[in-house]
Homo-oligomer: A and B are copies of this chain.
Amino acid sequence: MEEEEGGGGEEEGEVCDTVTQIVLVWFTGHPRFMNQLSCGTEVVSIAGEWLTAAANTNMFTYEIAPVFILMEHVTMKHMRKIIGYKAGDSILAPGGSVSNLYAALAARHKMFPEYKKKGLLALPGELCMFTSLHSHYSMMGAAAAMGLGTDNLIEVPVDEKGRMIPSELDRLIQEAKAKGKIPFLVCATAGTTVMGAFDPLHAVADVCEKYKLWFHVDNQRHKMDGVERSQSITWNPHKLMGVLLQCSTVHFQEDGLLISCNQMCADYLFQQDKPYDVNYDTGDKVIQCGRHNDIFKLWLLWRSKGDEGFEKHMDHLFEMTSYMIQRMKQHPDKYELLNDEPECTNVCFWYVPHRLRSMKAGPDRHKLLGDVQPILKGRMMTAGTLMIGYQPLDHHPNFFRNIISSQAVRREDIDFMLEELDRLGYDL
């Protein structure tokens, strides 16, 4: 009888484990999912996506999605106002990488409008772009896809907090020019992928103005001082704002550039003799044709929360981050912070198993620490109780990067996380 009960209990436990694991890995709304910025379950956003699915329309022309197109207009205008652009244009793209690509294409088109027809070989030299060493890899992808080659994405060194060093940017621009290259774009990152660092926007803007380069900002947050000086900005509501993936936007200071850069004038979609104002057709502003409706879930969530609601939402995420840092600092033997004053909601740390706590600092311990984190990640995945990502960076061996991006995270989840890390990793 006891055996049976035990057996039943174990089985039940297994099922529970599996369910927990499925919940964690399938369902990023779980408050212990800290693996990525794009996560969470905003029910209003889900409701928006459900209606979107039932409507199953396409965002390329006003004629088949009039209400959604108008929502896009209104919402994008509001976002540009928050950024600080006086006029301009915007578009929703399938992810931040494509938004960054659209910015780079527009920058190239602005400087060399003839490339669109004639191609890069018709240009007077090799184009090059600049971004920080810690920026997102999508700029690299853009350089390759655009035909510049990754050699022509020049990585600017960062300081110890992961921020681009403007004097280094200046030096590298001069160096590229001396080699006969043609710089055309600088990408600053407001919230780097791993450390959550913010490049100094004003200082970068100064350098861009000095050399007349396009200034693009790849942004994780809604407002940063200096962002209004950029020519373009990527802003991903599917990250800290909690809108369902995919919801990425890219905004341009100059109106008309997006369409001039990307339009191919397909007669069957963008007829100029339509019975309505064809300026509402958006399809020719992008290199996509069909475009998923990513606006309704954003519009609905914004209507529901308001600007104030999003501010509270952000405050909550930063409060949880501070709490996590504060709790970790109480146990410096167990949790070693890479940066104890993070600028975003990224918290980078090493979990220190018991045997390494008393070990002397140095390259040996350093290496061992880095070896331990992936094993702990494996245990996390098997237990199905936590999801936190890890990676190496520069000279640092593997460390965890905890991202608090979901509204659902509460203090008890952070307490649980710290205990669970210790439970799973103590003996490693």
Give the residues in chain B near A89, CB-CB below 8 Å: none
Give the residues in chain B near A120, CB-CB below 8 Å: 119-121, 147-149
In the complex formed, the residue of B with least CB distance to A248 is B290
Asked if A20 is at the interface (CB within 8 A of a chain B CB), the reply is no
Contact across chains for B271 and A391 when beta carbons are under 8 A apart: yes
Contact across chains for A374 and B63 when beta carbons are under 8 A apart: no
Asked if A88 is at the interface (CB within 8 A of a chain B CB), the reply is no
Which residues of A in the span 272-290 have a Cβ within 8 Å of any Cβ on B?
273-276, 287-290
Contact of A238 among B27, B46, B105, B290 (CB under 8 A): B290
Contact of A64 among B25, B55, B57 (CB under 8 A): B25
Asked if A244 is at the interface (CB within 8 A of a chain B CB), the reply is yes
CA distance A63 to B34 in the complex (A): 12
Asked if A326 is at the interface (CB within 8 A of a chain B CB), the reply is no
Quick check: which of A96-104, A164-172, A209-217 contacts chain B, the rest being far away?
A96-104
CA distance A264 to B143 in the complex (A): 11
In the complex formed, the residue of B with least CB distance to A127 is B119
In the complex formed, the residue of B with least CB distance to A297 is B53
Number of A residues, CB within 8 Å of B? 101
Give the residues in chain B near A94, CB-CB below 8 Å: 94-95, 98, 246, 288, 292
A64-B25, A245-B290, A271-B391 known; A264+B140 contact, CB < 8 A: yes
Asked if A7 is at the interface (CB within 8 A of a chain B CB), the reply is no
Asked if A389 is at the interface (CB within 8 A of a chain B CB), the reply is yes
A141-B287, A152-B119 known; A26+B57 contact, CB < 8 A: yes
CA distance A288 to B138 in the complex (A): 7
Give the residues in chain B near A68, CB-CB below 8 Å: 26
Task: Indicate how many identical chains form the complex.
Answer: 2
In the complex formed, the residue of B with least CB distance to A267 is B391
Contact across chains for B36 and A64 when beta carbons are under 8 A apart: yes
Contact across chains for B193 and A268 when beta carbons are under 8 A apart: yes
Quick check: which of A200-208, A312-320, A375-383 contacts chain B, the rest being far away?
A375-383
Asked if A39 is at the interface (CB within 8 A of a chain B CB), the reply is yes
Contact of A58 among B38, B46, B117 (CB under 8 A): B38
- Using an 8 Å CB-CB cutoff, how does the interface string of A14-47 with B read, 1 for contact, 0 for none? 0000000010011111000101101111000010
Which residues of A in the span 219-277 have a Cβ within 8 Å of any Cβ on B?
238, 244-246, 248, 262, 264-269, 271, 273-276
Give the residues in chain B near A54, CB-CB below 8 Å: 27, 29, 41, 46
Give the residues in chain B near A289, CB-CB below 8 Å: 95-97, 136-138
A residues near B, CB below 8 A? 22, 25-29, 33, 35-36, 38-41, 46, 49-50, 53-58, 63-68, 94-98, 101, 105, 115-122, 125-126, 136-138, 140-152, 193-194, 238, 244-246, 248, 262, 264-269, 271, 273-276, 287-293, 374-375, 377-378, 381-382, 387, 389-393, 398, 401
With A46-B56, A53-B53, A276-B381 given, name 9 new contacts (CB 8 A): A22-B67, A56-B244, A119-B149, A120-B120, A121-B126, A137-B266, A268-B391, A268-B401, A271-B390
